[in-house]
Amino acid sequence: MDVLNDKNTSIIGIWGMGGVGKTTLLEEIRRQAGEKKLFDMFFMVTVSQTPNFESIQQKIADMIGLEFTEKTPEAKAERLRWRICEMLKEKKLLFLVDGVWGEIDLEKKVGIPYGENYKGSRIVLTSRSRDVCDQMGCKPTYQVEGLNDDEAWGLFKGIVGEIVESADRKHIAKRIVGKCGGLPLAIKAVANPLKEKSLSHWEVCISELKGQNLKSVVREALQFSYDYLSKPYAKEMFLLCCLFPEDEVIDIQDLFRLGLGFGLFQNTTTLDTAMAEADVLVDYLKSSSLLLESDREGSVLMHDVIREFAISVASRDKHLFLVGTHQEFICWKRNHAFTRCTAVSLQIDVVPEFPYEWECPELELLKLEGKDKQPLVLPSNIFKRMEKLRVLSMTDIQMMSLPASFEDLKSLRTLCFYKCLLKDISIIGELKNLEILSFCDCDIEELPKEIEKLTNLRFLELTNCKNLRLVPSSVICNLSNLEGLYMRSFSQWKVGKDNASVEDLKKLSSLVALEVCIPNDNLWPDDLVFRNLTRFKISVGDAFYHEDEHLFSHSSKILELKTNTTFKEGFNMLLKIAGVIHIEGTNALHNLNEYNSPLLKCLIIKKCQEMKYAIDTTKSAPLIVFPLLEILEICDMDNLQELYLGMLLRESFGELRKLILKGLPQLMNVWKNPTEHASLQKLRVLGVSCCHKLKSIFSLYMVRDLVQLQEMKVSQCEALEYIIDGERNGDGHENLFPQLNRLELENLPKLQRFMSSLNALATSANCGSGVLEPFFNNQVAFPSLKRLTLSSVPKLMHVWENMDGPPAHVSLQNLISLDIGYCDTLKNVVSCERDKTMAAAEEIEVGRNTAEVIIFPALETINFHNLPNLTSFFARNGTLFDEKVAFPSLKELNLYGVHKLMHVWENMDGRPAHVSLQNLFSLDIVDCDTLKNVVSCERDKTVAVAEEIEAQGNTTGLIIFPALEVIHFHNLPNLTSFFVENGTLFDEKVAFPNLKQLKLYGVHKLIHVWENMDGRPAHVCLQNLISLDILECDNLKNVVSCEKDKTVAVAGEIEVPGNTTGVIIFPALKMIYFRNLPNLTSFFAGNGTLIDEKVAFPSLKQLKLYGVHKLIHVWENMDGRPAHVSLQNLISLDILDCDTLKNVVSCERDKTVTVTGEIEVRGNTTGVIICPALEMIHFRNLTNLTSFFAGNGTLFDEKVAFPALGSLELGVLNNITELWSPQVQVESFCQVKTIVVEGCSKLLQIVPPRLLQIGIETITVKRCPSVKSLFVLERLAVDEREASLTFYHLKYLMVCGLPKLEYIFDKKVSYPAMQKLWISDMDGLRDIWQTQQSSGSFHQLEGIHVERCHKLLTVVPSYLFPELQSLKRILIEYCDSVEVIFCDDSGQLLPATVTLPHLQYISLHHNPVLGSFCHHKCDFEWPSLRKVRLYGCPKMENFPFANMKAPRLERVVSDSTDNEITGDTSIVTGDGFSDKCYYGDECDRFNSRIHTCIIN
């Protein structure tokens, strides 16, 4: 665990043979790291031998709430990496990656960033091979070896029992355990079969364990366990599990379907008993340690070692299972293995070349698993020779039609499609013997009518088929043998004349399992009653939403009703047998007496406004009510007064675990009578909210029953005065909630105390004098409490009472998190009215101080929000923590809006005031108006918490925060310093050796951040600093004070020729963000240059400067290296709103500096300033900037080089006339991909000729009034001008607001990669294409968007038609002069038939003179056209339907019509250019590697 905390560790490797316990160790790491709060989030994923990266990406995305819109794994990886990078700014993340078989780039393939750039990210991976760990760069690596003798014996004994200690067995047991070699997998495999077995079985076991090495031992142990499977079909069920991909969660329902089709469960007569038998077999295999529990309900896992064993068993003898990937498939074909096999499971990574016919006369089961719904075309005769095939399963495959030989599968019993895209499947109707048909998570629009011919069908599943619109009525009616019907995603009951109705379900007399969702109770026939259902999930009414889907795991009989009418007979029947009931919105339900079923496990009642009492026994003898109910939720019922009225017997609610009461404004009591009338001893979770008549939650009698209560949340109860109405006297205390670990009390305006008592009445009478008894007095204690939240409790003045004895503080010993907010009257957390303080756990010896200290020994997090009257934690002196309180485990301290606070810690001669500092990790102080210092500076002597840092000539001790990594100060207008009031935040009296993030926002009295001292102390904070953000600090002049002559080298001096002055180094600093610092003149020296030779940032990757108005230069141009050592790792440079900036690098010296070497420039021996890693530049509103280096109006000349620059974004640079000089070398900017230029008034051109071919993909130019041409060709030599130039990589071009530009494309430049063209607000544009273009220029063009170009007459010339075969979208909007879209030009007529095969969308808006598509009549053939929008084009009266072939056209929308066209209803996403655009801060660039994406 210590290695996980090491800042220099990024990826840790754990290796060992299969079955040794690597996964178990990984789970234990997760548990312990969670308990110690080492990380904020944990992600555990399994890679396996054939990784499914998209599945891993989706699992991580689900955990962080990320929805992918990207389609490719690479794009998803980039999106996931960006999100994780954003999270790493504030959180620490641990990724547990199990089962790595080979080297994988987790960052590129999955999107998990790691390495020195991401200190908050840790990866722990497991592998069977140390070599793999080494290839992955794991440091350190650990080998997992087997259990020692005692551990192995303990595991074996724990499974088999005490019988191992008997005289006749102990020696055999010892030998068996010894044979297992300490491998947990082997021990479990042999131990489980030996439970309750005779001695002879033990002797057989020892004789069979003969292995000479650990691998053979594991195999023999598993063989022994397998051989001892005695239940019928257990071995077959076990072998079926190996057909699923490695490490995949196996759904028990999937196993059941495969098993039933494969001939298992033949001794069962109904589908229901077969399902039950499958459940029993799975439990049996789990108890035999051959299957593992899964986190997902209703599913299991198979260990990869056990799967390997199962495959080997299944591949021999009579079974002959073939399990593999595309590579194995090729070998099978060569070896003719198909001819003998009985089962094949094939994972298809690439579409294989299937043989025309498979010679598989013995094949009974075929399982094909694809990827990403890849298209699969099967030969028509592929199933011709599969006469015995009984089970066919296909996953993640796209099939337009099923092969003709499908009808030859006469023996097929089970047909399953999972996550498939299916079109024509009508041939399924020929499979007359089919019994199970499943479409799960499939993209299917209608169930073919031919399914009605499957009269032997017993099971039909249409789960989660979200696009299903048609289920023919005849299909349901004719499937009279159907026992299981699952179609919850279908909602079109009785929609249209052909769709099925709920009435049709009456024809299914054999039905025992049903899952349906009926949108309206009126669709349910009055006489529809299901008397034989044993499994059901039926929803009637609008869609139901459940925050906790785990509710459904409580039963296989679930009923959800949303109806305003009296329950129909069919509903009443189901209500009496259901295990989970959710009733909402009915006025016919007066109480729940009638549905008091002993089978009920979960009951949710909402919006039943006629109900006054949930249970009413006043007219009957006392009842046992809901004896097995585990969850009860009653919500949003305006008239409910009591949960029950009358008498209940003791067994009532005996199993209740969770009780939620919400939105019950008339509820008078949570539990009215003493609990001898009902038992709540098993209640673990209680939630009460919006119950405005409640004055208390519990009576004292009731509380004594709540011995297992673990979580309690009470909120928004307007009249609540006490949690416990404790009507008794006395000073003794009780552990009333011994198991309570979480308590949340929020928005309770009248809450006075946790518990009322007679002896508190006198105290409360003194409220007028300002004395109020603390919230928790000496009568209640919570020995297990870990998390306490108090929010918006306005009458709260103190939380705990300061007592002489332990009762008031017994709640503190396990408290981990304390969150108090919006408590306006809170003065102290612990009452300070008594003289004597109390130590909860121990006394801390403090010099001559014998006073006892209140200790919170386990408290890790304190959050105080908006507490305007809080003066201190204990004493009323304006200092939060003094010597009377201690928090030895405190890691996070967050103070927001604590307005009377002057200091956080008191500066004492002894240790107590600072014992809270030793483990502090994060300090966040926001909106504390009166805060002057963090540590009080009123005493002379300072305290060293851990040690003194020796400083030359300085013997003064330091206040050290040894673990502090994050400091965030926001809006602290009176803060002058951390310790001494001198305008400098950190001086020589404080040290933060592990500080990584410092953010200062709105600290207006700050003049300097660090003091410049002759010795080291003032700079000890710098050595690990990674991120420095300073924002809105009006008076800041320098980051480091420049008032002393001598500077300090933290890590050593950088040798500078002729310069012996030390340099202040920030060795780990990667990000600097300065914003709105009007008086900042420099980092160190006040000369208008931010970074000079006195400071260095060798690790700097991102620099952001916004609104630093006195800045003239960023870097100083020195003869030596120091001023530029900050450039070598720089990735991103953002400079915005710096009015006085003239150059980025000062050009006042003659000699320039090369950071990594000189770039040879012809005829130029001057060194070049190189930023070798710089990927992105963003300059905006730099009105005085004349150049990056030389002040001549050219941004980049030959003196600078950025060979890694990918994105350049410029805006409002009014003194720049050209971006690059003609002399610039191609290799200096060889990686530029994106250029965005906006509002540069003097700019004349964009890209010089020599940079045309460097790989630019995206160009956006907006509002540059002086630009006459995008690409200046006149600077080329005469012979060069005659040659054609090719812009090989340009994909996207957007031009907007360039009034002097008359045309876009010159004939001398071709654009073979152009995909999208956007032109708008071009007042001078007359032609898009000046003259005929060279062949191949626009053959990839997909979209043309033209708007507000008022001099433009036509759009597309005729000669371009052969090039536009990829065109998908055309948008012409607000173009006053455009008459035709397609024009005949240069004497070349349009063809008689204009064919654009991929055109999908046409939009014509407000084009007043647009009359037609072309000058002369021709036919249009647009086979992919889906949608046409035609607005404000009065001269184009009709869209040309008469001479247009558009078979897939769905909709034409115009000024007066909105016509939906019948035909193919495939959906086109997006209107026009739906690609998302990102500019500037919108993309919120990655923290370390920055990419600006203008168009996806």
Q: Tens digit of pLDDT for each residue in 432-491?
A: 999 999 999 898 888 999 999 999 999 999 998 988 888 998 899 999 899 999 998 888
The 3-class SS string of 1126-1166 reads HHCCCCEEEEECCCCCCEEECCCCCCCCCCCCCCCECCECC
Q: Tens digit of pLDDT for each residue in 669-693?
A: 887 655 455 678 899 999 999 999 9
Among the ranges 46-60, 894-908, 1437-1451, which has the highest mean pLDDT value? 894-908
Residue 412: closest CA among 621, 244, 260, 225: 260
- Rounded distance between C-alpha atoms, residue 1029 and residue 1074, angstroms: 6
According to DSSP, residue 917 is labeled G
Mean of pLDDT over the chain: 80
Q: Is 831 exposed, middle or buried (0-12, 13-18, 19+ CB in 10 A)?
A: buried
Say if residue 1211's pLDDT is above 90.
yes
Residue 86's pLDDT is what? 82
- Rounded distance between C-alpha atoms, residue 975 and residue 929, angstroms: 8
**Which residue(s) pair with 1169 in the sheet?**
1200
Q: Tens digit of pLDDT for each residue in 841-900?
A: 333 333 333 457 888 888 989 999 999 999 888 876 778 888 888 888 998 999 999 999
Q: Tens digit of pLDDT for each residue in 77-128?
A: 888 888 888 888 778 889 999 888 888 888 888 888 887 777 778 899 998 8
Neighbour-count burial for 1207-1226, b at 16+ CB within 10 Å, e otherwise: bbbbbbbebbbbbbbeebbe
Residue 689's pLDDT is what? 96
Residue 1450's pLDDT is what? 73
What pTM was computed for the model? 0.77
Contact by Cβ (8 Å): 26, 14: yes
Give the CA distances from residue 398 to residues 254, 420, 454, 463, 1111, in Å, rounded to whole numbers and listed in that order.
20, 6, 24, 18, 60
Q: Tokens standing for 274? A: 């077969």
Residue 176's pLDDT is what? 81
State the Cα angle at 786 between 781 and 789, rounded to 5°: 85
| Average pLDDT for 346-353 | 67
Among the ranges 259-263, 281-285, 559-563, 745-749, which has the highest mean pLDDT value? 745-749
Residue 1178's pLDDT is what? 96
| Average pLDDT for 1081-1104 | 87
**Which stretches does DSSP call E strand in 800-943?**
817-821, 854-855, 861-865, 879-881, 885-886, 892-896, 903-905, 922-926
Place of tokens 């050595």: 1023
Residue 1019's pLDDT is what? 52
**Which stretches does DSSP call E strand in 833-921?**
854-855, 861-865, 879-881, 885-886, 892-896, 903-905
Say if residue 779's pLDDT is above 60.
yes
Contact by Cβ (8 Å): 1387, 1357: no
Name the pLDDT band for 168 (thresholds 50, 70, 90): confident
Position 758: which residue type?
L
- Rounded distance between C-alpha atoms, residue 190 and residue 1097, angstroms: 61
| Residue count of the chain | 1496
Name the pLDDT band for 1304 (thresholds 50, 70, 90): confident
Among the ranges 381-385, 972-976, 1190-1194, which has the highest mean pLDDT value? 972-976
Residue 1157's pLDDT is what? 36
Residue 881's pLDDT is what? 87
- Rounded distance between C-alpha atoms, residue 210 and residue 219, angstroms: 10
Residue 989's pLDDT is what? 82
Say if residue 758's pLDDT is above 70.
no
Contact by Cβ (8 Å): 1136, 1106: yes
Instruction: Pick the more confident residue, 690 or 1467.
Output: 690
Place of tokens 């002896």: 759
* 971 CB-near residues (< 8 Å, 6+ apart): 926, 927, 1001, 1002
pLDDT over 90, % of the chain: 27
Residue 1054's pLDDT is what? 36
Q: What are phi and psi of 685, to 5 degrees?
A: -130, 130
Contact by Cβ (8 Å): 189, 211: no
Q: Tens digit of pLDDT for each residue in 1341-1376?
A: 999 999 999 999 888 887 777 788 889 999 999 999
Residue 448: closest CA among 466, 433, 460: 460
Place of tokens 């195999």: 219
Residue 631's pLDDT is what? 93
**Which residue(s) pair with 687 in the sheet?**
660, 713
Say if residue 911's pLDDT is above 60.
no
Q: Tokens standing for 221? A: 């142990």
Q: Tens digit of pLDDT for each residue in 575-602?
A: 888 999 999 988 878 888 878 888 899 9
Say if residue 252's pLDDT is above 50.
yes
Residue 967's pLDDT is what? 93
Residue 1472's pLDDT is what? 33
H or E element that contains 260? helix 252-261
**Which stretches does DSSP call E strand in 812-901?**
817-821, 854-855, 861-865, 879-881, 885-886, 892-896
| Average pLDDT for 1416-1441 | 79
Residue 88: closest CA among 1488, 1492, 1491: 1488
- Rounded distance between C-alpha atoms, residue 594 and residue 620, angstroms: 12
Contact by Cβ (8 Å): 121, 96: no
DSSP characters over 84-137: HHHHHTT--EEEEEE---S---HHHHT----STT-TTEEEEEEES-HHHHHHTT
Say if residue 1057's pLDDT is above 80.
no
Residue 768's pLDDT is what? 44
